[in-house]
A and B are shown apart, each in its own frame.
Chain A
Amino acid sequence: KAGVTQTPRYLIKTRGQQVTLSCSPISGHRSVSWYQQTPGQGLQFLFEYFSETQRNKGNFPGRFSGRQFSNSRSEMNVSTLELGDSALYLCASSPQVNTGELFFGEGSRLTVL
């Protein structure tokens, strides 16, 4: 079974631009979560989707948004990029909701210049 796939793996943007990151969960997994990892703040929860509905949202500004499609694939978008948005963005999937046993992708490393 293929794991969680995130694209792109690496990208460089400049301040003010926007970025879209994609996540394909493990086949059969309907729950997708997104996390941001930075050296200073560590790993922080962004949002969780299940059956195309956002179930939970972390404490991030409205510039961070996401969605889930009917095939469970998910995208997250960050608009008006700031230097502080440079981070490793991790997507995780699980076969069910209400579990912290997550299967993580390798992440998308975003650098904002």
Chain B
Amino acid sequence: SQELEQSPQSLIVQEGKNLTINCTSSKTLYGLYWYKQKYGEGLIFLMMLQKGGEEKSHEKITAKLDEKKQQSSLHITASQPSHAGIYLCGAENSNSGYALNFGKGTSLLVTP
């Protein structure tokens, strides 16, 4: 089955700094989704990437899918305390239709 590995597991950055979270798949990604979760709450959809080389941005968050479609990165520019939370990447599971396999998540803390 497809496994998604996220790195780093956790991250503490100072407000205003840039950061990058990576998501690597053991198989080709046909649909890669980024979600954000506030601690103990539900997930909020951020972005979806499907094509190799695709890049999408929303406010200060940019996500990219590499040409080989096996790695995605999420980049936050000029981080703010509101960016704190757990970022999860999810990929369509070819064995279970559009059910998503998720990575273990990256916990982000932004300090003043």
Contacts and interface: CB of A to CB of B under 8 A. Distances in A.
B13 interface: no
A100 B96 contact: no
Given A43-B88, A88-B40, A101-B33, A33 B99 contact: yes
Interface residues of A, number: 27
The interface size bin for chain B is 20 to 34
Contacts of B42: 4, 90, 92, 104-107
A112 to B, nearest CB: 17
B95 to A, nearest CB: 9
30 contacts: A4-B42, A42-B103, A42-B105, A43-B88, A43-B102, A43-B105, A44-B102, A45-B93, A45-B99, A48-B98, A55-B97, A56-B96, A56-B97, A56-B98, A58-B96, A58-B99, A90-B43, A92-B42, A99-B98, A100-B31, A100-B33, A100-B90, A100-B98, A100-B100, A101-B45, A101-B48, A102-B43, A103-B45, A104-B43, A107-B42
